[in-house]
Amino acid sequence: MNAEALAPWASEPQRSRGRRRHEALAPPRNEHQRDRDRIVHSTAFRRLVYKTQVFINHEGDLFRTRLTHSLEVAQLGRSVARALRLNEDLVEAIALAHDLGHTPFGHAGQDALQACMAEHGGFEHNLQSLRVVDSLEVRYPDFDGLNLTFETREGILKHCSPRHARRLAAAEPGGPAQRFIDGTRPSLEAQLVDLADALAYNAHDIDDGVRAGLISLAQLGDVPLFAHWRSEVLAQHPALAGQPGRRLLFETLRRMLSAQIADLVQTTAALLADAASPDADAVRALPRLVRFGDALHAQQAELKTFLFRELYRHPQVVQSTAVARTVVGELYAAYTTRPQEMPADYAGAGNLPRAVADYIAGMTDRYALREHHRLTGRRLFEH
Ligand code: MG
């Protein structure tokens, strides 16, 4: 994308706050394109293909994984970025990296690791994503991590508790954790990826939930955001009502996504025009500018409540997440008692609980299951 095409409040690559370790520029790529390429070539990125989003990876080949989720977030984010003349490359880099720190087995894995690490500094997937790109990737001769630009790292650190923010900001004053202390916002591109993430999972979790047979189109009739677009589809294509198959679902989701993107672009463009911010730095001090309209925001909240009640807490999902928690908890116990079961660079690390957490967090679902079987002799899932 040409720099001239960017809006004045977009993050321009040539005005980046830079990398922690200085590196020469690499034309023709700009610095955010280069970040994106480093992320795509990382080991952690390739592991996303075998990590659970909601459904455990072995439950079916067509469910979203962390990788396909991240690609959908990048696609939605880039569409909006282009419409608003924000930095598409930065949006893409943040989107592709935003889930790199997720454990195997989705939120169940993260909850289990959090419990194990409660006395050892805790575990949080946003912090872990930053840790992956800052130190855990081992690819360069002179430094650990990917040495990404400030703007990409800022977008990756989406949430951060005050305790962690103080610790990170003490180690790196003015770094990506500083805003949680100062109470400022991240770049518009980071604000956008945050919303594109929710936009993606709200839609694809409906699709996956219906595919798994855990939620039905009839139930979704109670969710206004979905019901509105379904009636529109049925009004134009009445034959779909009695048809088996998934055309009605897909067409409804397609319209629902397009409508939300249109609302996001329109609402944000109006806020940006009112704010008339001079540049990308000034927007950090303003209230959040990348937003959905209030009416749509309320409808999205209803959808989220529905998904929590009917899908994320569905007995079948809860049952497999309980098993996942057992796997992660028992792996943690096994490696802390017998560190020699881990590769040498983890086994020999100074802080053993943190090394174990890093090792487990990096695992794919199926690798975690294989390791669990090897170390305990028990097979909790087929794998
Ligand atoms: Mg995500």
pLDDT in tens, 284-323: 999 999 999 999 999 999 999 999 999 999 998 888 888 8
Instruction: State the CB neighbour count (10 A cutoff) for residue 242.
Output: 7
29-202+258-376: which CATH topology?
A: Hypothetical protein af1432 (1.10.3210)
50-106, pLDDT tens digit by residue? 988 777 666 777 788 999 999 999 999 999 999 999 999 999 999 999 999 999 998
Count how many Cα atoms sit within 13 Å of the Cα of residue 4 in the half-sphere of its side chain.
0
Q: What is the pLDDT of residue 276?
A: 85
Q: What is the pLDDT of residue 164?
A: 95
Please report, for residues 68, 69, 281, 355, the alpha-carbon distance to residue 73 in angstroms, rounded to integers and kept in the order given. Answer: 9, 6, 24, 30
Q: How far apart are CA 374 and CA 355, in angstroms?
A: 20
Strand partners, 149: 19
Enumerate helices (H) and strands (E) in the chain, giving the number of each: 18, 0
Span from the CA of 197 to the centroid of ligand 1 (angstroms) = 5
Q: How far apart are CA 286 and CA 332, in angstroms?
A: 43
What is the DSSP code (8-state) at residue 292? -
Strand partners, 65: 52
Please report, for residues 73, 372, 373, the alpha-carbon distance to residue 335 in angstroms, rounded to integers and kept in the order given. Answer: 34, 10, 13
Count how many Cα atoms sit within 13 Å of the Cα of residue 119 in the half-sphere of its side chain.
3
Q: How far apart are CA 185 and CA 271, in angstroms?
A: 15
Render the burial of 93-107: b for 16+ CB within 10 Å, e for the rest. Answer: bbbbbbbbbbbbbbb
Span from the CA of 70 to the centroid of ligand 1 (angstroms) = 6
Q: What is the pLDDT of residue 382?
A: 62
Q: How far apart are CA 90 and CA 169, in angstroms?
A: 23
Nearby residues for ligand 1 (ion, Cβ within 5 Å) = 99, 197
Q: Provide the mean pLDDT of the chain.
A: 94
Span from the CA of 256 to the centroid of ligand 1 (angstroms) = 19
Mean pLDDT of 205-233: 94
Q: What is the pLDDT of residue 381?
A: 72
Span from the CA of 200 to the centroid of ligand 1 (angstroms) = 8
Q: What are phi and psi of 224, to 5 degrees?
A: -55, -40
Strand partners, 19: 149
Span from the CA of 264 to the centroid of ligand 1 (angstroms) = 18
Q: How far apart are CA 362 and CA 99, in angstroms?
A: 11
Span from the CA of 126 to the centroid of ligand 1 (angstroms) = 10
Q: State yes or no: pLDDT of 2 exceeds 60.
A: no
Instruction: State the CB neighbour count (10 A cutoff) for residue 320.
Output: 22
Span from the CA of 239 to the centroid of ligand 1 (angstroms) = 36
Q: State yes or no: pLDDT of 126 exceeds 60.
A: yes
CA 198 to chain CA centroid, nearest Å: 9
Span from the CA of 75 to the centroid of ligand 1 (angstroms) = 13
Span from the CA of 92 to the centroid of ligand 1 (angstroms) = 13
With vertex at residue 340, the alpha carbon angle to CA 327 and CA 361, rounded to the nearest 5 degrees, is: 40
* CA-based radius of gyration for the chain: 22
Q: What is the pLDDT of residue 242?
A: 81
Residues 6 or more apart in contact with residue 55 via CB below 8 angstroms? 63, 64, 208, 212, 317, 320
Span from the CA of 162 to the centroid of ligand 1 (angstroms) = 22
Span from the CA of 99 to the centroid of ligand 1 (angstroms) = 5
Span from the CA of 121 to the centroid of ligand 1 (angstroms) = 23
Span from the CA of 227 to the centroid of ligand 1 (angstroms) = 25
Mean pLDDT of 99-121: 94
Q: What are phi and psi of 202, to 5 degrees?
A: -60, -40
4-23, pLDDT tens digit by residue? 589 999 999 999 999 999 99
Q: What is the pLDDT of residue 263?
A: 98
Q: How far apart are CA 54 and CA 34, in angstroms?
A: 31
Q: What is the pLDDT of residue 4?
A: 58
From the list 103, 166, 190, 132, the residue with the least C-alpha distance to 368 is 103
Q: Amino acid letter at 37?
A: D
Helix, strand, coil: what percent of the chain each, to 5? 65, 0, 35
Span from the CA of 29 to the centroid of ligand 1 (angstroms) = 26
Strand partners, 253: none
141-181, pLDDT tens digit by residue? 999 999 999 999 999 999 999 999 999 999 999 999 999 99
Percent of the chain's residues with pLDDT above 90:
86
Residue written as tokens 């294989």?
370
With vertex at residue 85, the alpha carbon angle to CA 81 and CA 89, rounded to the nearest 5 degrees, is: 55
Span from the CA of 73 to the centroid of ligand 1 (angstroms) = 7
Mean pLDDT of 246-255: 96
Span from the CA of 4 to the centroid of ligand 1 (angstroms) = 31
Q: How far apart are CA 323 and CA 352, in angstroms?
A: 25
Q: State yes or no: pLDDT of 107 exceeds 60.
A: yes
Span from the CA of 102 to the centroid of ligand 1 (angstroms) = 9
Q: State yes or no: pLDDT of 1 exceeds 90.
A: no
Percent of the chain's residues with pLDDT above 70:
98
Higher local confidence (pLDDT), 212 or 353: 353
Q: How far apart are CA 290 and CA 190, in angstroms?
A: 9
Span from the CA of 205 to the centroid of ligand 1 (angstroms) = 12
Both tokens assigned to 301: 């909240």
Span from the CA of 71 to the centroid of ligand 1 (angstroms) = 10
CA 329 to chain CA centroid, nearest Å: 23
Helix (H, G, I), strand (E, B) or coil at 149: strand
